Amino acid sequence: MRNFNLTPDLTPLYRSAIGFDRLAQLAEHAAANNANSGYPPYNIELLGENRYRITMAVAGFAMSELDIMSEGEKLLVKGNKATKTDDRKYLHQGIAERGFERTFQLADYVRVVGAELEHGLLNIDLVREIPEAMKPRKIDIVSTNTLG
């Protein structure tokens, strides 16, 4: 059986594009990061032109067992489930009671503005705040014609 490499070769991008190395690194990271995709399930929602929400299903986690860290362009969400010492004997245990760590890569100027835990769902609200200097602006055209 042959193993196929599904990781894209971005060498041509590095040869012909200048300043896109961060984008290429993001693509390589996303292709290689398959372990980050299963638990807990989550949604990423577009709420408005520059507003987003990440909703994670964290049923069974208390607020004290969840941590959210935003550093640079990375958002890290951790769930640290306390170890139980009860003597329960499960016939079937389908409810995951394990910790998790999920990392999201944020685009430039995207920041976390709030988080709430409700009905087993962790909602993380984000907003993209583009600096004034980066926003499109109209340039006035003046005439240099001095003939009267």
pLDDT for the residue numbered 19: 66
State the average pLDDT over residues 126-142: 88
Residue pair 26/104 in contact by the 8 Å Cβ criterion: no
State the average pLDDT over residues 32-59: 86
Cβ neighbors of 60 (< 8 A, separation 6 or more) are: 81, 95, 96, 97, 120
pLDDT for the residue numbered 112: 96
Which of 139 and 16 is assigned the larger pLDDT?
139
Residue-averaged pLDDT of the chain: 83
Task: For 66-91, write each residue's pLDDT tens digit.
Answer: 999 999 889 999 999 877 767 888 89
